[in-house]
Chains A and B, each alone.
Chain A
Amino acid sequence: MTSRSIAFLFFFFFSCQVIAEIAGFPFETEAEEQRFRELSTELRCLVCQNQSLADSNAGLAQDLRVELYEQVLSGNSNKQIIDFMTNRYGDFILYKPRFTLKTLFLWLTPITLFIIGVVTLICFSRKQGEYSTEQVSDEELNKIRSLIDSEDNKK
């Protein structure tokens, strides 16, 4: 990173504290309101450091909330709205990355790790059922025993 890109930070005038309003958007149905709430937390305020549209007071976030509101009212589906946003701002605007080839690794790693973890633990334990002792010298074992005993006596 160069000093130029540091200076960049200062150019972003859309600070998260510019004059803006948190407007009350009136909805006729609860389902619409629910959809608006969900989408506005899943879309990112582009100009803030790290906030969703719902949380941000920035001017652009307000404009995009109005856009979102109008689209929800006109009955556009979630997919249509998300496509609208990504066609203009790219996938960066989505807090919940779409499941694509590029995010495959992101979405599948946790479950893969979980399966690997469970399988390893089971393999690790089953064989052990038959040989439950550890490889320790007699001297060490006596020491451990005395420690455990002294502890048990304390209780």
Chain B
Amino acid sequence: MSQPVENQSIQPKRWVYLLPLGIFVGLVILFFIGLELNPRLIPSPLIGKPAPSFSLPRLHHPGEIFQETDLQGEISLLNIWATWCPSCKQEHPVLMQIAKANKAPIYGLYYKDDPEYGVEWLKNNGNPYRANAVDKDGSVGIEWGTYGTPETFIIDEKGIIQYKHVGPISWQDWKDKLLPKIQSLREKSDV
């Protein structure tokens, strides 16, 4: 059984044997990064874009209209909420504190809910909102890319969306994420 010399040429090179290990090491690194990521968080494509236009009745004054231009002029928060949403209720005390801190006005988009319940809820638990727009059928919610209430947007004085927070805001979130964002926006606009 002699061995033809040419056969050596069809041998896989040494690095081929290391290939599976290499790919695997890459995967492990990826997974370590992946464990830090939140699979449920979807970044919004609206950031850096003007707030979507809408024109809706106000919660407390159904005869009056609330529209996106009302958000312009100063840095503001837009909070999307409903009374059927338990985590919105959980978030409510934090919104009250934020309103008290008076760093930025909070506007509400009252999402897919009966206005009566909302008025009742705010009467009993305090009203952190400067004004609320009632989005009864949820169509404005779609414009804003809502997928999990509560959602909170930071909108600058030109009406450009600068930040989005999904899920209830905790006091920690406010201190660590939203407030610094508002402050940096304010500094920029002052310059």
Q: Number of residues in B with C-beta < 8 Å to the partner?
A: 40
The answer, yes or no, to whether A136 is at the interface (CB within 8 Å) is yes
- CB-defined contacts of A59 to chain B, threshold 8 Å: 112, 138
Q: Number of residues in A with C-beta < 8 Å to the partner?
A: 35
The answer, yes or no, to whether A1 is at the interface (CB within 8 Å) is yes
The answer, yes or no, to whether A127 is at the interface (CB within 8 Å) is yes
Encoded as 1 (CB less than 8 Å from any A CB) or 0, chain B from 32 to 54 comes to: 00011110111111100000100
- CB-defined contacts of A5 to chain B, threshold 8 Å: 38, 40
The answer, yes or no, to whether A114 is at the interface (CB within 8 Å) is no
Least CB distance from A89 to B in Å reads 5
The answer, yes or no, to whether A67 is at the interface (CB within 8 Å) is yes
Interface of A: prevailing SS:
helix
User: B40 touching A123 by the CB < 8 A rule?
Assistant: no
Q: Which of A1, A8, A89, A131 contacts B7 (CB 8 A)?
A: A131
- CB-defined contacts of A92 to chain B, threshold 8 Å: 42
Interface residues, chain A, CB within 8 Å of chain B? 1, 4-5, 8-14, 46-47, 59-60, 63-64, 67, 86-90, 92, 123-124, 127-128, 130-131, 133, 135-138, 141
Q: Which of B44, B139, B143, B149 contacts A13 (CB 8 A)?
A: B149
Cα-based distance from A5 to B36 in the complex (angstroms): 10
The answer, yes or no, to whether B3 is at the interface (CB within 8 Å) is yes
Q: Which of A1, A90, A130, A133 contacts B43 (CB 8 A)?
A: A90
The answer, yes or no, to whether B190 is at the interface (CB within 8 Å) is no
The answer, yes or no, to whether B168 is at the interface (CB within 8 Å) is yes
Cα-based distance from A11 to B81 in the complex (angstroms): 13
Output the nearest chain B residue to A93 by Cβ-Cβ distance: B42
User: A88 touching B46 by the CB < 8 A rule?
Assistant: yes
The answer, yes or no, to whether B147 is at the interface (CB within 8 Å) is yes
Cα-based distance from A51 to B66 in the complex (angstroms): 35
Cα-based distance from A72 to B87 in the complex (angstroms): 34
User: B145 touching A88 by the CB < 8 A rule?
Assistant: yes
Least CB distance from A50 to B in Å reads 10
- Additional A-B contact list (19), CB under 8 Å, known A59-B138, A128-B10: A8-B167, A11-B87, A11-B168, A12-B40, A13-B85, A64-B142, A87-B45, A88-B142, A88-B144, A89-B45, A89-B145, A89-B147, A90-B42, A90-B45, A90-B145, A123-B10, A127-B9, A131-B7, A135-B7
